């Protein structure tokens, strides 16, 4: 009995520590703070694919870019974030909208086909572009931007797995540099205010 109790306590401790580690790993602020943006080594150009072909960040030189990592089966964070970006765009002067681009990079290339990504992103706005590539290509961009994700197997579930991922919304200036971070709980007003400062 005592042995079983000790094993149970050890298991609980392990789970607790794993929970703390995951929480730290997925902290939206991991990898830097807002005071160090000017010296940040995060970001830079990359190449992935959309339904229309190859897309590079440098294709949008001269524009402000909102960049988010997620996946289309995400039950909450991704749709909330993209919906808030969509609402924020309604608070930006129409003449300035062509100077703004939203990019959604899938961290679930197994399920997020180009067509599926395109349908998903277009639901939030015509100027939203869904991007994917091989796992190796996606992982390179994830590391480049200091993002994180991990596959979580779901036993006895029709969807087989979910994906835990960081929730930064990257605000990239006209020169292709990260200018600020927003998050999944940033309001449409906060997003619009930050975007307008760069526009």
Q: What is the pLDDT of residues 77-122, one digit of tens each?
A: 999 999 999 999 999 999 999 999 999 999 999 999 999 999 999 9
Q: What are the structure tokens assigned to 125, written together?
A: 């706005």
Same-domain status, 18 and 101: no
Residue 49 has pLDDT above 50, yes or no: yes
Asked if 69 and 105 count as a contact pair (C-beta separation under 8 A), the reply is yes
Same-domain status, 96 and 148: yes
148-192 residue pLDDT tens: 999 988 887 777 888 999 999 999 999 999 999 999 889 999 999
Same-domain status, 111 and 129: yes
Same-domain status, 38 and 11: no
Q: How far apart are CA 180 and CA 168, in angstroms?
A: 10
Location of structure tokens 């390179």: 140
Same-domain status, 16 and 112: no
Which whole-number Å values give the CA distances from 4 to 9, 10, 142, 164, in the listed order?
9, 10, 42, 32
Residue 52 has pLDDT above 80, yes or no: yes
Which CATH number goes with the domain that contains 69? 3.40.30.10
Same-domain status, 63 and 159: yes
Q: Which residue has the higher pLDDT, 125 or 22?
A: 125
Asked if 28 and 183 count as a contact pair (C-beta separation under 8 A), the reply is yes
Same-domain status, 18 and 66: no
Q: What is the mean pLDDT of residues 131-159?
A: 91
Same-domain status, 11 and 94: no
9-47 residue pLDDT tens: 343 334 333 333 333 334 443 333 333 333 458 999 999
Contacts of 191 (CB under 8 A, 6+ apart): 66, 84, 85, 88, 169, 182
Q: Give the DSSP H or E segment for 163.
A: strand 161-165
Q: What pLDDT score was predicted for residue 40?
A: 55
Contacts of 147 (CB under 8 A, 6+ apart): 69, 165, 166, 168
Task: Report the sign of the C-alpha dihedral through residues 38, 197, 175, 77, in that order.
Answer: positive
Asked if 169 and 76 count as a contact pair (C-beta separation under 8 A), the reply is no
Same-domain status, 42 and 103: yes
The residue range of the domain holding 10 is 1-30
Residue 194 has pLDDT above 50, yes or no: yes
Give how many domains the chain has, as a whole number: 2
Q: How confident is the model at residue 55 (pLDDT cuts 50, 70, 90)?
A: very high
Same-domain status, 25 and 39: no
Same-domain status, 57 and 114: yes
Which whole-number Å values give the CA distances from 128 to 11, 43, 65, 122, in the listed order?
44, 20, 10, 6
């Amino acid at each position: 009995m005592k042995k079983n109790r000790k094993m149970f306590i050890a298991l609980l401790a392990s789970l607790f520590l794993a929970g703390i580690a995951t929480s730290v790993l997925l902290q939206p602020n991991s990898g830097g703070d807002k005071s160090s943006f000017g010296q940040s080594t995060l970001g830079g150009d990359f190449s992935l694919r959309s339904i229309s072909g190859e897309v590079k960040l440098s294709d949008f030189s001269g524009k402000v870019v909102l960049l988010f990592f997620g996946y289309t089966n995400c039950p909450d964070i991704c749709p909330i974030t993209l919906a808030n970006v969509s609402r924020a765009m309604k608070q930006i002067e129409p003449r300035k909208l062509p100077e703004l681009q939203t990019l959604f990079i899938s961290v679930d290339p197994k399920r997020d086909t180009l067509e599926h990504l395109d349908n998903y992103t277009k639901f939030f706005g015509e100027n939203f572009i869904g991007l994917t590539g091989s796992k190796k290509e996606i992982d390179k961009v994830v590391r480049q931007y200091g993002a994180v994700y991990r596959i979580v197997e779901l036993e006895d579930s029709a969807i087989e797995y979910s994906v835990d991922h960081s929730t930064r919304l990257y605000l990239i200036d006209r020169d292709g540099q990260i200018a600020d971070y927003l998050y999944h709980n940033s309001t449409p007003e906060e997003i619009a205010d930050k975007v307008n400062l760069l526009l």
